[in-house]
Amino acid sequence: MQFLNRIGLILLWLVAPLAAFAAANKNDPYLLVLRGAGNIALVVASLLIVVVLLRRGRWRSIAGKLLVMLWCLPPVLMSTAHLKFELRKRDVLAASAAEARRLGPHFMVGYSSFPEVARLAEQGLIGGVYVTRHNIRGRTVETLRAEIAALQDKRRAAGLPPLVVAADQEGGIVGHLAPPLTKVPALATLAGLAPDEQQAKAEEFGRTHGRELAGLGVNLNLAPVLDLKPPQRRNRLDFHTLIGQRAIATDPAVVSAIASAYVRGLEESGVGATLKHFPGIGRVRTDTHHFSASLDTPVRELEATDWLPFRQVLSHSRSALMVGHVTLTAVDPDRAASHSKRVVDGIIRGTWGYQGMVMTDDLVMGAIYQNDVCKAVVEAINAGVDMLLVAYDGAQFYRVFACALEGSRQNRLDAAMLRASEARLERGLPIQQAQAASGVVRIVERH
């Protein structure tokens, strides 16, 4: 029995610092699984352990006092972290109408709480929402459709433009609304077919996605992937990018043909496409969901290979462009492409002449979030990025928006870049512009 007591004490000493760390960082995206019930359980467990230690007389010794104090830390640290979060949230929600008008259209947020995202939408603090598997898990398509329609109704009632509503339906392993939507194979499965069959099937996949997403009220799909398929296996720490399973092919011409056909199918249904992840992550072995990553290939080589599909599909579609968190070392070795003015304004806007919507990959990814988030937010806006995505953990919106708010109040945001981006966003999604020009009623206005 004495041996078991010693083992228990050793475990308490070992676990106490971990519990304190988790409590202090309760709002970190990596600890999302502990939110809500997990946080409550941690606090209750800490208090119970303190009570048990006191009842057993551990307070009498110096070591015992230290152990009791260690287990008192988690509730205190968690309360402090929660207070910090609430104060930041209050500051964001208290932003003036002028600040909301200036900054809000540039943010797209994932959400779990409808009342919370509805408030952000009504106040103009966001310009778009991202829906994914947790928004539809255990619910019907009709329920999510009604929820999206209700958000758009609130926007109209507030005199604000419709929200961009995005989903991530690539096909294959990335189809976050399937089921209940149709599970479509990855576009990579078409690479071995004859060219005519490739395009027919890809267009059919696009129409299927487009028809079902439009029926939900989604007007932007975060697909297709235009990264070239890597010739070699990625490292074992690649848990989430998995580009080898998502990329269409190694041949840029095949990628362009299949992706173009898929985008045509999407656009026929009234849903915009998003080409990703420029400048290309097929050559990158590091998983940007967790780590910083560099693309060291010369620009001339990228223009002749990896970038061909992006330029080709952009030239004859109305797609948006997603910029990833990879550092393009030949152009800007000091920051990821997603917040590099040399990449966004220099290459995409300048050299390519693209004036459509540019958005970042999720800012809650480790390559950004584990570094200086505020610096990245301000630099992305100043680079000419139109939409900043906060998808995986919507609660991080308050931190990200607070960064933009601080940058605005300190006059660190480029007014000319903001005006140019505002003009692009006011025109709506490129697919919506085309529909308006042809007299077709926009999908979001049907609800």
CA distance linking residue 195 with residue 420, whole number of Å: 40
CB-based contacts of 22, cutoff 8 Å, min separation 6: 31, 34, 42, 74
* 167: phi then psi, degrees, rounded to nearest 5: -140, 170
> Three-class SS of residue 84?
helix
Q: What is the side-by-side order of every strand in the sheet holding 272-278? A: 358-360, 320-323, 272-278, 220-221, 164-167, 128-130, 107-110, 388-390
CA distance linking residue 368 with residue 337, whole number of Å: 11
The token pair that represents 171 in the structure block: 């096909």
**b (16+ CB within 10 A) / e for 168-207:** bbbbbebbbbbeebeebebbbebbeeeeeebbebbbebbb
* Spatial contact of 206 and 262, defined as CB atoms under 8 Å apart: yes
CA distance linking residue 17 with residue 55, whole number of Å: 22
CA distance linking residue 184 with residue 156, whole number of Å: 34
Q: Quick one: how far is CA 19 from the chain centroid? A: 28
Which one of 176, 209, 277, 289 is the catalytic residue? 289
- Based on the number of CB atoms within 10 Å of its own CB, is 300 exposed (0-12), middle (13-18) or buried (19 or more)? exposed
CA distance linking residue 294 with residue 307, whole number of Å: 16
CA distance linking residue 50 with residue 46, whole number of Å: 6
- Catalytic residue check, 289: yes
Q: What is the DSSP letter of 186?
A: P
* Spatial contact of 134 and 177, defined as CB atoms under 8 Å apart: no
- Catalytic residue check, 361: yes
Which one of 306, 361, 386, 414 is the catalytic residue? 361
CA end-to-end span of the chain, whole Å?
67
The label of the residue with tokens 């009570």 reads 51
CB atoms near residue 396 (< 10 Å): 22
Angle between helices 373-383 and 397-409 (to 10 degrees): 60
Question: Catalytic amino acids?
Answer: 289, 361
